[in-house]
Structure 1
Amino acid sequence: MKRTLTVVSAGLRLPSSTRMLADRLAHAVGEELELRGSQVDVNVIEVRDHAHDLVNHLMAGYPSPELRRAFDAVAGADGLITVTPVFTASYSGLFKTFFDCIEDTALVDKPVLVAATGGTGRHSLVLEHALRPMFAYLRAVVMPTAVFAATEEWGSDNGSQGPLHRRIQRAARELATEVERRETPTVDDPYDDPVPFERMLGDG
């Protein structure tokens, strides 16, 4: 069976530790799914590439074609990996804006792995007091293991024996299990069944 993972990375710099963590998570989940007999496609959305379109969408209420494709990639994914840097003890504003703009039904019953990066491990509580409640509100199925990577862990993580690697592998197994349990979602096209103009006039 073919499965699709969508990764939403809200890092701002190049290179970005947020993107590094996102890639490691996507690789681990992909390996888990392949071991279970699935083919895996991975779509990566760099939120910073859509910053201007997100602001325009907030103002006008219509996404650009590129932003529409990003929203569809999220809605149509079998599993979602989301990674944000920590700003002022919470997720970044750009990360929140992306999920403010997406349709409020896009994440219903969707398996989501949440992750974050920050300068110190003291920021890891952002996963529980900010990210998990937001995705619960959107009615997603949030994995029990959330992954936080502090700056010092990138240099000290001892390969397959390090704590960061173990958290990534545990979270990957959880997401792969939830993806495997579900049918691939379908994305409805709002233009497939338009409201006739005569009915719109009549309702007015």
Structure 2
Amino acid sequence: MFRTPNHLSAPVSTRADSIDDDIIQHAWSVLEAVPDPEIPVVSIRELGILRNVTRAADGTIEVVITPTYSGCPAMAQIAEDIGRALDAAKLGPYRIETTLAPAWTTEWITDAARAKLHAYGIAPPVGDGASASATAERVIRFMPSASALPTCPRCNSAHTERLAQFGSTACKALYRCLDCREPFDYFKPY
């Protein structure tokens, strides 16, 4: 009789695996509702800050988060909010880990979050922050090309200008619409 070696056989799902899967799915669902403390209309998952939720061998739920930039002052609040949400859902014990690699990018922001940002009055990122020729310049000075200027979230005009490198937070720049004259934050692409 031919037997498949153990390392080649398909894993057998056990009741414990199924329970773990349910718990992890429930944790993702609970954390989906945790809002970003600086932009409460989007969740930390929609922004791409919530990177992973797993279960360690000892049963501890492990939550991995990545800041929008390494000095983000909201990370302590985000970790506290995650803890409160997991406690309220009776999902414990848990451990929250902040990781800087890979570095967060605006490409992790979901399409739904981009629409919510726009509706909230924040222009979502235009283009990507990873163009080879502009990466260093964007990190240091953030000078978008004319074709990558944000549109006004109030009147949708593309006739905008940058007023300041930083807006209400360091991950945003302050712009003004030259048509409706309203200032607005622009979520800078990284």
TM-score w.r.t. length of structure 1: 0.24
Structure (1/2) with the larger helix percentage: 1
Structure with more contact order per residue of length (Cα contacts < 8 Å, sep ≥ 6):
1
